[in-house]
Amino acid sequence: MNTTWIILGATSAMARAFARRLAAEGAGLLLAGRDMAELTLLAEDCRLRGARLAEPLTFDARDAGGFGALIARLETEEGELNAAVFAGSMPDQSLIDADPALIGGTVTDSFTGPAHFLQLLAPLQEARGGGTVVGVGSVAGDRGRIGNYVYGAAKAGFHTYLSGLRNRLTRAGGHVVTVKPGFVDTAMTWGLPGLFLVASPDAVAGDILRAVKKRRNTIYTPFFWRYIMLIICHIPEPIFKKMKI
Amino acid sequence: MIWKPSDYAGWGRALKASGDVARPERRAQAQSLSAQTPAPAMGMRRSYGDAALNSGGRMIDMTRLDRMTGFDPATGLLEVEAGARIGDIAAAFAPRGWLPAVMPGTGFATVGGCIAQDVHGKNHHHAGSFGQHVAAITLLQHGKTVEVSPDTPLFRATLGGLGQTGIILKAVLRLMPCKGDVMMVTERRAEDWEEHLALLDGSTASYTVGWLDATAKGATLGRGIVEEGETGAGLVKNRTRFRKVPMDAPHFALAAPVVRAFNAAYYNRVPARGRTLVKPIGDFFFPLDKIHDWNRLYGKRGFHQFQCVVPLAAAPELRTMLEDIAASGLASPLAVLKRMGPGRAGYLSFPMEGYTLAIDFPNRDLARALILRLEGRTADAGGRLYFAKDGLGTGARIGAMYPELADWQAEVARADPDRHLETDLVRRLNLRNAQ
Ligand SMILES: Cc1cc2nc3c(=O)[nH]c(=O)nc-3n(C[C@H](O)[C@H](O)[C@H](O)COP(=O)(O)OP(=O)(O)OC[C@H]3O[C@@H](n4cnc5c(N)ncnc54)[C@H](O)[C@@H]3O)c2cc1C
Ligand SMILES: NC(=O)c1ccc[n+]([C@@H]2O[C@H](COP(=O)([O-])OP(=O)(O)OC[C@H]3O[C@@H](n4cnc5c(N)ncnc54)[C@H](OP(=O)(O)O)[C@@H]3O)[C@@H](O)[C@H]2O)c1
């Protein structure tokens, strides 16, 4: 069947690896983000790797006015319509502490912007009787920590949104995969201190694609983060609140 | 963050460096780094020694600029960014009937690294070096893009030029038609040195390489297996399961008796009358890539690879070197003998018509002394050392090994007058000043 994916935040290294895997399967790709020069290079790369279609498109999570054009473009493709959200931003918590106005943008990039877009897409997917949504959240959304709790809160909101969307799309034959990566070797984490067990973007992309095929609901990637987070979430709050992790 | 404080090493893990590394994910970032904080580039650090190290200085990791950005099926010309890996290009294009014309023994090597070392493959005797199939290069010099075309001094200084003429941003490669993504491989035993050279000399196959049992002495000195390959079409299941060496091996893992036993088994696995097999291309070209981090097998002290090439007429001198190696009992199972053609593209390109020997040694005092002896013998024989492998050379005889060194130095002095791009290897061998 004809499959088309729109990838939001396609310049992320994780998204690039995911797009390449889809390209090798011959999928159609709409690569959306703010950096058209980079998206154009990626589109050519995906075509050479076998994508049926690969097209760069402008998507700014903070400019909902542009979403309609993306939806209209998607609508012209026949067959199954899928979306994968990699967009997100993680300003240093100390910058947010100094300027709380940054909270709005962080939440828009990682949660409300993509959610707004997915909300416009859902009726289309329902009308076509299916389709998949991949939402990249984060283990940081499982519990708020001193180091990045605004980003974590945005991701937690996104997780909750995705679980509701799953509930909705399931009724129409669709599916939603919530992805919670641990540390991944990308621009977001390059040079940050204290990282461990850092996964490659391609390994994460492989896990995501497998989860899509198996219609998994929520995955941690790499898998062991499920157990790390299980422990972290079970630390009693009186102790946790004094910890610095 | 832009700069990541890093401890990193060459592939042999015997030579190490610390310093800040930037890894641009976008072209504009590479451009601004080149303009504001010029530093040498690194690829996948598959060079064994210190070619991709800059102790105390900065490096720019190019592996994320790895996109294929244009292909013309009429000419086979592929435009690709410098960080793309050769194995990825092969995997994407072989099913469509194209391969990089020259591929080194690891698919992890990047296009930038292959240009900067002007690498050779198992088809060097026919196809020449990597650079002979490069139709254009785009360099970043002080933030400006510079187009480099073949037959210019800047091109010859860039091919095999160890990154000293600028950051390679992208290149146009002339791919070679192939029949498909499997290999027909014929393996034959060579019982001794003479037979080994005779099989290599007589081979008419597209791809030819000899594996050498460097522990064999006396009458069996130089014995090994000559592999010949041709591409073909067919269906062989690609084994995508990779294995990984999870930790540093203890030092006895590659002790002399173990290596002797392994080599004997490896040799005897091929029947005396030879055999022909069908393999996925990756298994033929990149046999070690299936075992990730195999360099940890040598333990934490790491290892050195020695690789030289000597003129055809110096085969007897090469035999003497092999005698020294066999007598030392220090050799590892990884030893390769190959006949090279004359093809080379740059002033500092390694290849010359002759025989090349590559062999790994654990990083120990005796092995280091042996490698220094071999360096001297190589120079005496009119041969040269390979910068992609070297970690111990003294540089004293580099000028004799590389007669076009002065041409290279002149071009590099123009391209990087303030010496921002010097690496540990360039300093160790005094390449930019010598003679
Ligand atoms: C298992 C194995 C088998 C091998 N087999 C062969 C073989 O058969 N034939 C052969 O010729 N070699 C062989 N090699 C060596 C290897 O091909 C070279 O060392 C090659 O340069 C590695 O590429 P890299 O991307 O890792 O480059 P690195 O090792 O990271 O860098 C090599 C040099 O290139 C420069 N460089 C890298 N990228 C850029 C860039 N974008 N711009 C400017 N300069 C750059 C670096 O500064 C450095 O001087 C082998 C290595 C291994 C580990
Ligand atoms: N790296 C990790 O360890 C890690 C761990 C857990 C979760 N994650 C999540 O994984 C996803 C991918 O991140 P990454 O690690 O690959 O880092 P990244 O390179 O910084 O990717 C972030 C992506 O978000 C896009 N983006 C940011 N703000 C946007 C906006 N206003 N509008 C549209 N796009 C916007 C960026 O696109 P442009 O700037 O090009 O427009 C970029 O493609 C993110 O959601 C991140 O939160 C990462």
User: Given a cut of 70, is residue B241 above it in pLDDT?
Assistant: no
HEC secondary structure over chain B: CCEEEEEEECCCECCEEEEEEECCCCHHHHHHHHHHCCCCEECCCCCCCCCCCCCCCCEEECCCCCCEEEEECCCCEEEEECCCEHHHHHHHHHHHCEECCCCCCCCCCEHHHHHHCCCCCCCHHHHCCHHHHEEEEEEEECCEEEEECCCCHHHHHHCCCCCCCCEEEEEEEECEECCCCEEEEEEEEECCHHHHHHHHHHCCCCEEEEEECCCCCHHHCCCEEEEEEEEECCCCCCCCCCEECCCCCCHHHHCHHHHHHHHHHHHHCCCCCCEEEEEEHHHHHCHHHHEECHHHHHCCCCEEEEEEEEEHHHHHHHHHHHHHHHHHCCCCCCEEEEEECCCCCCCCCCCCCEEEEEEEEECCHHHHHHHHHHHHHHHHCCCEECCCCCCCCCCCCHHHHCCCHHHHHHHHHHHCCCCCCCCHHHHHCCCCCCC
Tokens in use for A93? 């918590």
**Least CB–CB distance from A35: residue in B26, B69, B92:** B26
Residues B51 and B72 in one domain: no
Question: Is B25's Cβ below 8 Å from some Cβ in A?
Answer: yes
> In the numeric block, which tokens belong to residue B214?
């460097």
Distance (Å, whole) CA A138 – CA B376: 57
Point out the ligand nearest to the CA of residue A9.
Answer: 2
Residue B409 included in any domain: no
Domain region containing B162 = 68-178
Whether A185 and A199 have beta carbons less than 8 Å apart is answered as: yes
Instruction: State residue A153's pLDDT score.
Output: 98
Return d(Cα A115, Cα A65) in angstroms, integer: 14
Domain end point (choices B178, B207, B242): B178
Query: What is the tally of structural domains in chain A?
Result: 1
Neighbours of A200 (CB within 10 A): 15
Residue B395 confidence (pLDDT): 86
CATH of the domain at B219: 3.40.462
Residue B47 near residue B11 (C-beta atoms within 8 A): yes
A92 at B interface, C-beta within 8 A: no
A50: which chain B residues are within 8 Å (Cβ-Cβ)?
92
Q: What is the pTM of this model?
A: 0.97
Indicate the pLDDT class of residue B229, thresholds 50, 70 and 90.
Answer: very high
- The Cα B293–Cα B188 span in angstroms is 29
**pLDDT category of residue B334 using cuts at 50, 70 and 90:** confident
Facing residue for A191 by CB, picked from B3, B27, B92? B3
Chain A residues 195-234 within an 8 A CB cutoff of chain B: none
Residue B429 lies in a domain: no
For the cut 80, the answer to whether the pLDDT of residue B38 exceeds it is yes
Q: Confidence band (pLDDT; 50, 70, 90) for B255?
A: confident
- Domain assignment present for residue A122? The answer is yes
Q: Is the CB of B28 inside 8 Å of chain A's CB atoms?
A: yes
Q: Does A231 map to a domain? A: yes
Q: What is the per-residue pLDDT across B49-70, written as a single tens digit (0 to 9) for each?
A: 999 999 999 999 999 999 999 9
Q: Give A55-66 as a DSSP string.
A: EEEE--TT-GGG
CB-based contact A38 B26, cutoff 8 Å: yes
Shared domain for B172 and B196, answered yes or no, is no
Residue B386 near residue B378 (C-beta atoms within 8 A): no
d(CA A140, ligand 2 centre) in Å: 14
Q: Give the per-residue pLDDT at B180.
A: 85
pLDDT at B373 over 70: yes
What was the pLDDT predicted at A102?
Answer: 97
Q: What is the tens place of the pLDDT at every residue in A177-218?
A: 999 999 999 999 999 998 999 999 999 999 999 999 999 999
User: pLDDT tens across B317-332, in order?
Assistant: 999 999 999 999 998 8
**Is residue B99 a contact partner of residue B231, using CB atoms and an 8 Å limit?**
yes
> What confidence tier does B239 reach under pLDDT thresholds 50, 70, 90?
low
SS3 state of residue A240: helix
ipTM: 0.96
Residue B351, token pair as written in the block? 């290849």
- Do residues B157 and B213 share a domain? no
In the predicted model, what is the mean pLDDT of residues A48-58? 97
Among B20, B38, B61, the domain-final residue is B61
Q: pLDDT at position B52, please? A: 98
What would the mean pLDDT of B206-215 be, rounded to a whole number? Answer: 95
Residue of A41, A47, A200 to mutate, interface with B, max B Cβ within 10 Å: A41
DSSP state of A184: B
**Is residue B391 in contact with ligand 1, taking CB distance under 6 Å?**
no
A21 pLDDT above the threshold of 70: yes
- B319 and B194 in one domain? yes
The residue among B319, B298, B154 whose CA lies nearest residue B223 is B319
Residues A30 and A55 sit within 8 Å (Cβ to Cβ): yes
Residue pair B116/B160 in contact (Cβ under 8 Å)? The answer is yes
User: pLDDT digits over B392-405, tens only?
Assistant: 998 889 999 999 99
The model's confidence at residue B238, banded by pLDDT at 50, 70 and 90, is low
**d(CA B70, nearest CA chain A) in Å:** 7
Per-residue buried b or exposed e for B222-239, using 16+ beta carbons within 10 Å of the residue's own CB? bbbbbbbbebbeeebeee
Neighboring chain B residues of A186 at a CB cutoff of 8 Å: 25
Q: Which pLDDT score, from 0 to 100, does residue B240 have?
A: 53
pLDDT tens-digit map of B90-120: 999 998 999 999 999 999 999 999 999 999 9
Q: Is residue A245 part of a domain?
A: no
Residue B327 resides in a domain: yes
Residues B170 and B94 in one domain: yes
Q: pLDDT value at position B181?
A: 85
Average pLDDT over residues B154-167: 98
Give the residue carrying structure tokens 């451009």. B31
**The domain containing residue A174 runs over which residues?**
3-240
pLDDT by residue (tens digit) across A155-165?
A: 999 999 999 99
For residue B410, tell me if it sits in a domain.
no
The total of structural domains in chain B comes to 3
B171 and B214 belong to one structural domain: no
A47, A49, A50, A56: CA torsion to nearest 10: -30
Q: Are residues B57 and B78 in the same domain?
A: no
A188 in a structural domain: yes
Strands B134-141 vs B144-148: parallel, antiparallel or unpaired: antiparallel
Can you give the CATH number for the domain in which A146 is found? 3.40.50.720
pLDDT classification of B291: cutoffs 50, 70, 90? confident
How is residue B149 written in tokens?
């075309």
Within a domain: B260: yes
pLDDT(B237) > 70: no
In a domain, B87, yes or no: yes
Integer angstrom CA distances of residue B160 from B118, B138, B348, B402:
4, 15, 5, 11
**Is A39 close to ligand 2, i.e. is its CB under 6 Å away?**
no
pLDDT of B296 reads 85
Nearest to B92 among A11, A49, A186 (CB): A49
Query: Mind listing the pLDDT tens digit for each residue in A61-119?
Result: 999 999 999 999 999 999 999 999 999 999 999 999 999 999 999 999 999 999 999 99
Tens of pLDDT along B115-153? Answer: 999 999 999 999 999 999 999 999 999 999 999 999 999
For A24, the closest chain B residue by CA position comes to B92
Q: Based on the fold, state whether residues B91 and B31 are members of the same structural domain.
A: no
Task: Indicate whether B226 and B321 sit together in one domain.
Answer: yes
Average of per-residue pLDDT values in chain B: 94
Do residue B357 and residue B388 come from a single domain? Answer: yes
- Rounded to an integer, what distance in angstroms lies between the CA atom of residue B69 and that of residue B90? 15
